[in-house]
Amino acid sequence: MAAEPQTLGRYQLERVLGKGAMGIVYEALDPKLHRKVAIKTILISQLDEETAKDFSMRFVREAHAVARLNHPNIVQVYDFGEEGDIAYLVMEFIRGNELKSTLTTGQLFDRKECVRIMCELLDALDFAHEAGVVHRDIKPANVMLDNQGRTKLTDFGVARVTDADRTSAERTQAGTMVGTPAYMSPEQIQGLRIDRRTDIFSAGIILYQFLTGQKPFSGEGAWTVAKKIIQDDPPIPSSINMALSPEFDRVVAKALAKHPDQRFATAREFAHALKRAAEGKPAIPEAEPTVVVPREPRVPHATHAPEALRSGEMELEFWRSIKDSDDPNDFELYVRQFPQGVYASLAARKAAKLRSGLPADDSGTRTMAGADRTRLQRSVPRAEAEESARAAVDKTIKLADAPSAEPARAGKRRSLLVPVVLGVLVAAGAVTYFVVVKPSQQSTAQKIEAEAKARRDAAEAAKAEAQAKRDAEAKAQRDAQAKRDAEAQAKREAEAQAQREAEAQAKRDAEAKAQREAKVQAQRDAESKAKLAAETSLWDSVKSSRKPADVQKYLKRYPNGQYAEPARQRMLELESARLEEAAKKQKEGEKKKPAIIVPPTF
């Protein structure tokens, strides 16, 4: 896209959460419900018609699958649609991280936290299985942990619903390999019929990573990993993490059993066994031991591979998984597995270029997927016809080699020569036995005994080597544990030292603060004392004065002073004295006035 869209449908796009080769995941706002959502998009204009149809169908499948799954540990899907050349799926927005981002660092979870996360995942799987939905792509990238640490299972884009709810087209694809190779079950890789137990196998791989910090099946190239999943048993978890009890080994072994019948029947049963192992109880009842199903001998040549591995759909899935690889072994394996395949010549050229150190030209890998499917559909009937013709030829050869009745009758007519011939043969046989066969038998017996001894020696050497390897792994584990303990001890000591220094600094700061406060208090006390002395001196100078103005001077300067009340009393006394003096003078004046005698009037 030249410019990213601002809206999709009614949803307002806010920011990009992640980008992939074929699409983008956005954080968006649903204006109708005023809630955050996550929107997964695919730019279908960059795909051919068949692939675009396939991804659109996956979006519809995911929406339909999750619509029936209302569970707290399953990410909800709200809506889906297409706008222009963009197909989109609207999901619940989770604030958190993918489990993949933690597991890829090799970090070991706390045992209790590991069991909790796994049990929440298994509870979500059991709910989906009971609703008739098989996820088919359980992996850490499809498991999220929100900010509260709750597990959220997402991405049901390759989920398969029960036959009752599938279309006829979907039923024809039951044998197609769909999923992520490192987390597939053996039956998924081989394109066989699958059920809920394929999700249990994938969940067992995640549990193995939780317990050991590494994947149980790893190697160079997707097909190498797939072969290990089908043929090899991984090291038991306790050989990598010696803190694990044997009960965890039993749980993992049952979850990763090659044959579905030997795995846990349900995710709920898986979770129950895991909880019992965490509690130190027997994870699996003795009446239900984990049995390793004998596998077919490894097939040395590709022409004896299972029919599902030679199917056209399988060839296409395999080619898609390796077409961008830089490993020549992947392309050589493709040629061995599919010598008459659509891409056999191209794979041979890419392998040769990679072996010679030249960059592989990927122009031939951009063939339209629709054309791929058409050629594959045409090649499969042709291969079947060739196989039928080959069977007919074999049958003809067998008939030609069968003994005929006519030569037998002719042999009877020549019966006169039989005694002579038999006599010669007996004599020759006797000479051959005593001269050649018997010494040869003796040398053969010696050779067999030598080979047996060599095999015993080799077995002893292999056993010693295996024991040495286990001892080395155990020592490495102990050394690693000792290193972790030393680092933890150093960290604790550093933290303790930092805490002591912080406490000492806090104590110094408190003492400095106390000194400053004491100094300020002393200054206040000195100022208060000086102020009190000045007030006392002024009061002493005016308290005996008979002038109200002097006392008024004190009250004006110290209206709330300690002598304010006596000063007011003094003011009242002086005022009373002034009034008495005035009254006395008035009386004296009246006495001094002459008496005026008014003569009587007759």
- Looking at residue 107, what DSSP letter applies? P
Contacts from 228-235 at CB under 8 Å and sequence distance 24+?
229/181, 229/184, 229/185, 229/186, 229/189, 230/186, 230/189, 230/190, 230/258, 231/295, 231/298, 233/292, 234/208
What is the rounded distance in angstroms from the CA atom of residue 146 to the CA atom of residue 97? 7
Alpha carbon distances (Å) from 263 to 55, 187, 196, 253: 32, 13, 11, 8
What is the rounded distance in angstroms from the CA atom of residue 143 to the CA atom of residue 151? 7
Residue 44 near residue 87, CB atoms below 8 Å? yes
Type of residue at 455:
R
Q: Dig out the tokens for 159 from the structure.
A: 């989920």
- Tell how far CA 276 is from the center of its chain: 24
Please report how the helices 267-278 and 111-130 are oriented relative to each other, as an axis angle in degrees rounded to 10: 160
Alpha carbon distances (Å) from 474 to 107, 217, 241: 19, 20, 9
What is the rounded distance in angstroms from the CA atom of residue 579 to the CA atom of residue 548? 13
Residues contacting residue 537 through CB under 8 Å, at least 6 positions apart: none
Residue 381 near residue 312, CB atoms below 8 Å? no
Residues contacting residue 44 through CB under 8 Å, at least 6 positions apart: 52, 55, 56, 82, 85, 86, 87
Collapse the DSSP code of 356 into the 3-class scheme (helix H, G, I; strand E, B; otherwise coil) and give the result: coil
Q: List the 11-19 sheet strands across, edge first.
A: 7-8, 11-19, 24-30, 35-43, 86-92, 77-83
Type of residue at 32:
K
Catalytic residue among 30, 137, 330, 372: 137
Residue 567 near residue 551, CB atoms below 8 Å? yes
Residues contacting residue 266 through CB under 8 Å, at least 6 positions apart: 126, 129, 196, 200
The answer to whether residue 525 is catalytic is no
Q: Which residues are catalytic?
A: 137
